[in-house]
A and B are shown apart, each in its own frame.
Chain A
């Protein structure tokens, strides 16, 4: 018990300190190496980004070009330290056959001291909307807008923002957060310990989530929605509730259903419930949700 108290106090102290209890006002020297490069876009080309401690901003434009700006940033109170440490940040911006590779990584030789500066990379990328993008990002941020072909994201400890994405989406997140708005297409999302907020989603969605808080706002264009959630809180909002067919299963979970709709509830085993609803219309989209050890809220 003493050990537990000690642990909780330490975390609390850490929270206070990290969130701004100390009032440092040092001036930082910021040194940036900016790389600008353009690649012609041809059908069949794709962009592969591997960002480590990176902020990645991707948007589309109507030029047959892929324009890349990579900023390698180093910050320290001493300018010479910032400049020296900047050399440890390496980048790649190359095309090999039909793939454009953009990557950054830290490379510190064995016989050199680890850098003292704050280091990161910032990507600003413009691609044609139909250009497939594969993004792998760790410990950073990703903002992707207005793509309409194939998007694959593999993220760890990253805040991912998607806006107006159409087509095929395959998203894997580990920790961090996923926020999406105006997503329309075939989406497969796998997340562990990430909070997910999706607004105005249409098309087909398959989501497998563990240890997260999920806020889903469906639109009338949603055709098929499958969610498997473990140890998660799920809030599903649909505009016209009775237009969808629901198959909801919960195991050791709280379930809250909207009033005014007649759901068929079956308790198949202790702690296991299955809830169904079928609309009166001939054709309807399907919503299938299975929640274990969590909560499910369905409403407007």
Chain B
């Protein structure tokens, strides 16, 4: 049975159709072979063109560009995540109104005798659309008033009175480094924290202007700092 199948296959293979190459093919091959020999030097020259060596600093430029892109990667990732915004419904209504008005203006020219009726329709449509409010966008208003400046308003906050503090702090730090007083470390940390708080509040008062409560807070901070300074001075 197997032998019969194989022989059937072989027979089928033998009976496969054959195909004739088109006549034009030989003509094309012939034409190619008969190409003028004057092209040869060109082909030879093309094969022997010299290699171009890139300039020495090209890699530096590529590397700099790659570094630049790496550093900007976080920025560009975040740009892709920037929020998108939906316009409020009123915008489309306004667009429709304007388009309707434009079309109406063109129509008015055609129906001039009836312009008053057309104007009444236009006013009615506009008023109806304007009535529809929109609460999803912020409303911004500007207000103006006057008030008496509080006492101490014109005080300038500067750092010139801080030199004495720094002097004592520096002296105590040197003392602590020499004698390694156990409570000294805590005092120095306290002074640093209170100094830093004082500087921060002074900067805020300069940036945002004088404020009574902040000034009181500054006073409180500096009183606490002065208590620390007193302890340091006593130890010295």
Contacts and interface: CB of A to CB of B under 8 A. Distances in A.
B144 A4 contact: no
Contacts of A96: 83
A114 B164 CA distance: 28
A20 B218 CA distance: 15
A34 B151 contact: no
A26 B210 CA distance: 14
B226 interface: yes
A120 B209 CA distance: 9
A256 interface: no
Give the interface SS of chain A, mostly helix, strand, loop or mixed: mixed
A200 to B, nearest CB: 26
A115 interface: yes
Contacts of B104: none
Given A30-B144, A114-B207, A36 B139 contact: yes
A139 B168 contact: no
Interface in A7-43: 7-8, 10-11, 14-15, 17-38
B227 to A, nearest CB: 10
B204 A53 contact: yes
Contacts of B139: 35-37
Contact of A118 (B146, B161, B197, B211): B211
Contacts of B108: none
Contacts, number: 156
A75 B151 CA distance: 15
B207 A34 contact: no
Given A20-B152, A53-B208, A4 B219 contact: no
A22 B143 contact: no
A157 B214 contact: yes
Interface in A85-102: 93-94, 96
A280 interface: no
Interface residues of A, number: 56
A121 B200 CA distance: 19
A27 to B, nearest CB: 5
A124 to B, nearest CB: 14
Contacts of B223: 11
Interface string A191-232: 001000000000000000001000000000000000000000
B208 A120 contact: yes
Given A3-B168, A24-B152, A79 B161 contact: no
Interface of A: 1, 3-4, 6-8, 10-11, 14-15, 17-38, 53, 75, 77, 79, 93-94, 96, 106, 114-120, 138-139, 141, 157, 159, 175-176, 193, 211
Interface of B: 83, 135-155, 161, 164-165, 167-168, 193, 197, 200-201, 204, 206-224, 226, 229-230, 233
In the A-B complex, the 3 residue pairs with the smallest Cβ-Cβ separation, listed nearest first, are A118-B209, A7-B164, A20-B151
